[in-house]
Structure formats: structure tokens, C-alpha cells
């Protein structure tokens, strides 16, 4: 089966069962023809990437429950006590359980959550060893290899969704999917609105599938389009937030934030009073915590936590020792559920004073939206409701893609001599029919979008090349018209 048979000129509608010819298709404007052909190519060629993204994203939505099942013994305590032990004693227990490495971060336990003491080990690279301590008894409840605090299962599913465990090469798949998702969603909305018209009775089927058209491709198209309408806002959100941390488009987004001074503010850890005081010993606080800046006293964690609570940092927090001598420690709120708590302070452990502060309320608007968007994309911001919405989006997207491929198959030619394994593509020629003003506006806009979203730009160019080649092949294979014989004399 040749490519031209899969992408030729659409066949006319068959006759109805009553013997009357079917109603002729409404003449499509050049803009509609171009959009329809672009939507078709994207649906056929990009949809497989969206299927992978939807399946891996659906799996990732289950990570909170998966962590509870797999790592409940490490993450939670069996019985909540009346009083927590000082952090110095908990860190000492973690150091006894993990003698090697340097302590990079401590997350004090809260409620039934264990205290997390994270150790940097050179051979682990970006990963850490996290020791989980019962904050009420000081007992070690196990150790896991984590990535910025994420459990092995969450890390594995996160890598699967982002790059299929293929590293930098695999990141292209997710960026390609995110780059086209918004185009396909908006294009589908426009096409469906143009098809249904603006009449009140017809517009009703934007939200309710029209099942009065019998069976076949029209019914499938009704389910495909109406479900896509319901999913549009969510799909646009996933596309935008997914692009913010992609490789190429994400780099352009970060450059834009820098140009607008809209990045998440940094917090200064510099001290002018000189290096911190030497470590104390005795009194049960002799357990050293080897940080990036050398050995620090475990008792300093308790003092820094007290300062942070006094400064208004409530809820779960993360304490990071000074990266080098003469620097301040940082304490960061890590509550990512709505309403988020993400304030940060820098603390001088020698004088127990706050040297710098960065409150979430003072962040630039784009930095706030970017942070909240990422948390919602990960299914964290609104807890279980967020997970359910993401799962519904993933399942809905899979259904829309299935119906799209089903329509392609239902539209296949079935007459003898013209059979094909799939339907024909929409007629080409939309670009040639566009008015000059549309080209003068559309070409620069497309180039600008292609620059901001490089994988989108490259694939648009690839689609154009494929379309031109298929058109050339189709014209060469088309039989020439038979010559007309001259009329007999005297006729």
C-alpha cells in the first residue's frame, strides 16, 4: 500500500440507503482546509507520543498511594507520641545508622511522618541516602536512595514520564508531545465550532455528543469532538506547564523569566560577622553532622528550627546547613498543597538571628504561577482531587486519540479497486487559497512560535516537506487524461 493511497483526495460521500445521493460536503474555506489538514497530520503522527505521555502520566498520578504501600514503614510511624525528641538526638541516631557521607538536609517529622535525614554520598551523584527516624523514639525505620527527597518508585515513574529512562534523548518525546498538545486542542475546538455552526441547537452539541446521526464515522466524530471540548482547558494547562521544564522550550521560558526579572528570588546566605562558632560538645549534642562546609554541631539544628518557628515558618520545613564556612543556614517551608507555604529564611547559627528572608507572597507573579502550575501538573497542589483530575485528563486524552484513529479507519475506501487500510487525508491546497494578509501575519507568527518551541517548528517543517512530497508523488501517479478524438465531419 503506497503512501499516496493513504493520503490522497477524499472520496465523495456514498449514496444513502434510500438511493438518493448523500448531501454534498459544505465548501471549506482555505483556512479551515489548512487547519483540518494540520490537525490530521498531527493526529496521525504526534498522537503516539501523546499516548505514551498520557499512560506514563496516568501512572505517575498514583505515586502518593504507591509510596504509602511500598514505603509506609519508612515514611510513617506506627504510633504518634506525646513529645518529639530534640533534632540533635534524631540526627545522632541517623548518623549511627549511616556513618558515611555528609548531611545535606533535614526534614523534621510532623504528626505521623518520620524525620528525614539526607546524606550526600559522592558515588550517588544527584541522589542521596535518606535515613528515616521515628521522631518520638529516635529509632531508625530504614534507609532509601532518594532523588531530592523522592522515593525510588516516584523517581522511577518521574523519569519514565519525562524521558522514558533514555536520558537527554528521551526528553525529546515529552517536549514534542507538549509542544503539539495545545495546537491539537485549540485546532479541534475551532474545527468543531466551524462544523457545528453558531445556532443554539447545534451549539448544544459542543458539550453533549450528537448521537442522532446513526452509526459510523459521524457518531465517532461526535464522541471525539465533544470529549475534546470538555478536556480543552486541562489539556492546555498540561501543555503549558509541561513546556516550562522541557529542554528547549523550557530554556526559552527561563530566558524569558530572566528578561522580565520574574524568576524565583534567591535568598542570600552571606554573613558579614565571620565564620560560625566552633562546635560544642557534651550535653547529649556531641553528634557531629558533616555538612558541605565541614563538621557542624547537631544542636545547631534545634536552634535553627526554633528561630524558624519564631519567624513564622509553620508546617513542614527543610533545614539545610551552610554550604561553606561563613555562610548562613536556610530553612524552607515545603508544604506544596493548597494553600502553599513556601517562605524561606537564612539563619546565622552562631547568633541565632535571621539574616535574610524570602516570602512566597513577595515572589513575582510569573514565578508564583510557574511554581503552582508545576505542583498541579505533578498532582500535588490539591491532593487527591488533583490526582483524580489528572487521571481523568489522561484517560480522556487516550479516548480522544482512540476515536481519532477510529475515524481514520472508518473513512477508508472500501470499493473494489480503491481499497485502503486507512482513510484518506483532507484535501491539500489550503495554503494556496489563503489571502495575502493571512500569509503576511501567519508566516511570522508561525516562525516566532517555532523559535520559542523548537520541536514544534521542526515538526511543522517536516509536515510541510512530507505534504509536498506526497503531493508530487500523487501527481506523477495520476493517469493522464485520454486525448479527445476529433468530431466526424458533418456532425
Cα–Cα dist 257/250, whole Å? 10
pLDDT beyond 70 at 489:
no
By DSSP bridging, strand 102-107 and strand 288-291 are: unpaired
pLDDT beyond 90 at 71:
yes
Cβ-count burial 348-370 (b if 16+ within 10 Å, e if not): bbbeeebbbebebeebeebbbeb
pLDDT beyond 90 at 3:
no
* Residue 289 pLDDT: 52
Q: How many angstroms from the chain centroid is the CA of residue 69?
A: 25
Q: Which tens digit of pLDDT belongs to each residue from 202-253?
A: 556 667 776 666 678 888 888 898 899 999 999 999 999 999 989 999 999 9
Q: How much is the pTM? A: 0.83
Cα–Cα dist 348/271, whole Å? 8
Cα–Cα dist 248/217, whole Å? 38
Residues of the chain by 3-state class (helix, strand, coil), percent to 5: 50, 15, 35
Give the mean model confidence (pLDDT) for residues 262-266: 91
What's the whole-number average pLDDT of the chain? 84
pLDDT beyond 50 at 281:
no
Q: Which tens digit of pLDDT belongs to each residue from 74-103?
A: 999 999 999 999 999 999 999 999 999 999
Give the count of beta carbons closer than 10 Å to the beta carbon of residue 158: 16
Distances (CA, A) of 71 to 64, 294, 470: 10, 31, 54
Closest CA to 271 of 322, 316, 223: 322
pLDDT beyond 90 at 55:
yes
* Residue 61 pLDDT: 96
**What is the C-alpha end-to-end distance of the chain, expressed in Å?**
46
* All cell numbers assigned to 488: 466526424
Closest CA to 151 of 211, 270, 65: 65
Amino acid at each position: 500500500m503506497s503512501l499516496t493511497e493513504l493520503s490522497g483526495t477524499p472520496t465523495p460521500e456514498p449514496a444513502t440507503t434510500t438511493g438518493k445521493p448523500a448531501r454534498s460536503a459544505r465548501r471549506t474555506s482555505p483556512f479551515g482546509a489548512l487547519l483540518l489538514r494540520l490537525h490530521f497530520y498531527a493526529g496521525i503522527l504526534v498522537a503516539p507520543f501523546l499516548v505514551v505521555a498520557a499512560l506514563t502520566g496516568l501512572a505517575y498520578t498514583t505515586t502518593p498511594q504507591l509510596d504509602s504501600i511500598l514505603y509506609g514503614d519508612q515514611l510513617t510511624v506506627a504510633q504518634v507520641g506525646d513529645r518529639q525528641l530534640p533534632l540533635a538526638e534524631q540526627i545522632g541516631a541517623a548518623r549511627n545508622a549511616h556513618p558515611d557521607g555528609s548531611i545535606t538536609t533535614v526534614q523534621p517529622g510532623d504528626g505521623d511522618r518520620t524525620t528525614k535525614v539526607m546524606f550526600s554520598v559522592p558515588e550517588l551523584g544527584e541522589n542521596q541516602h535518606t535515613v528515616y527516624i521515628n521522631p518520638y523514639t529516635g529509632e531508625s525505620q530504614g534507609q532509601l536512595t532518594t532523588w531530592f527527597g523522592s522515593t525510588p518508585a516516584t523517581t522511577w515513574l518521574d523519569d519514565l514520564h519525562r524521558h522514558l529512562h533514555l536520558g537527554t534523548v528521551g526528553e525529546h518525546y515529552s517536549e514534542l508531545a507538549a509542544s503539539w498538545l495545545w495546537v491539537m486542542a485549540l485546532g479541534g475546538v475551532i474545527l468543531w465550532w466551524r462544523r457545528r455552526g453558531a445556532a443554539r441547537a447545534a451549539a448544544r452539541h459542543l458539550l453533549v455528543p450528537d448521537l442522532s446521526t446513526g452509526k459510523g464515522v459521524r457518531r465517532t466524530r461526535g464522541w471525539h469532538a465533544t470529549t475534546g471540548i470538555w478536556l480543552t482547558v486541562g489539556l492546555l494547562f498540561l501543555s503549558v506547564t509541561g513546556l516550562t521544564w522541557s529542554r528547549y522550550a523550557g530554556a526559552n521560558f527561563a530566558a524569558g523569566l530572566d528578561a522580565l526579572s520574574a524568576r524565583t528570588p534567591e535568598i542570600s546566605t552571606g554573613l558579614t560577622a565571620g565564620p560560625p562558632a566552633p562546635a560544642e560538645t557534651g550535653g547529649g549534642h556531641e553528634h557531629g553532622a558533616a555538612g558541605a562546609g565541614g563538621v557542624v554541631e547537631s544542636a545547631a539544628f534545634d536552634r535553627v528550627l526554633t528561630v524558624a518557628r519564631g519567624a513564622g515558618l509553620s508546617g513542614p520545613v527543610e533545614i539545610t546547613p551552610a554550604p561553606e564556612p561563613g555562610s548562613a543556614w536556610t530553612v524552607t517551608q515545603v508544604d506544596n498543597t493548597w494553600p502553599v507555604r513556601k517562605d524561606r529564611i537564612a539563619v546565622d547559627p552562631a547568633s541565632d538571628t535571621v539574616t535574610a528572608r524570602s516570602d512566597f507572597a513577595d515572589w513575582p507573579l510569573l514565578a508564583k504561577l510557574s511554581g503552582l502550575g508545576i505542583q498541579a501538573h505533578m498532582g500535588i497542589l490539591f491532593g487527591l482531587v488533583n490526582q483524580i483530575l489528572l487521571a481523568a485528563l489522561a484517560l480522556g486524552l487516550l479516548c480522544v486519540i482512540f476515536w481519532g484513529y477510529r475515524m481514520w479507519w472508518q473513512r477508508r475506501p472500501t470499493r473494489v479497486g480503491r481499497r485502503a487500510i486507512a482513510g484518506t487525508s483532507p484535501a491539500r491546497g489550503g495554503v494556496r487559497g489563503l489571502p495575502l494578509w493571512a500569509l503576511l501575519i501567519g508566516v511570522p507568527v508561525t516562525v516566532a512560535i517555532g523559535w520559542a518551541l523548537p520541536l514544534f517548528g521542526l515538526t511543522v517543517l517536516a509536515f510541510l516537506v512530507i505534504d509536498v512530497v506526497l503531493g508530487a508523488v500523487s501527481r506523477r501517479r495520476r493517469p493522464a487524461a485520454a486525448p479527445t478524438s476529433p468530431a466526424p465531419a458533418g456532425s
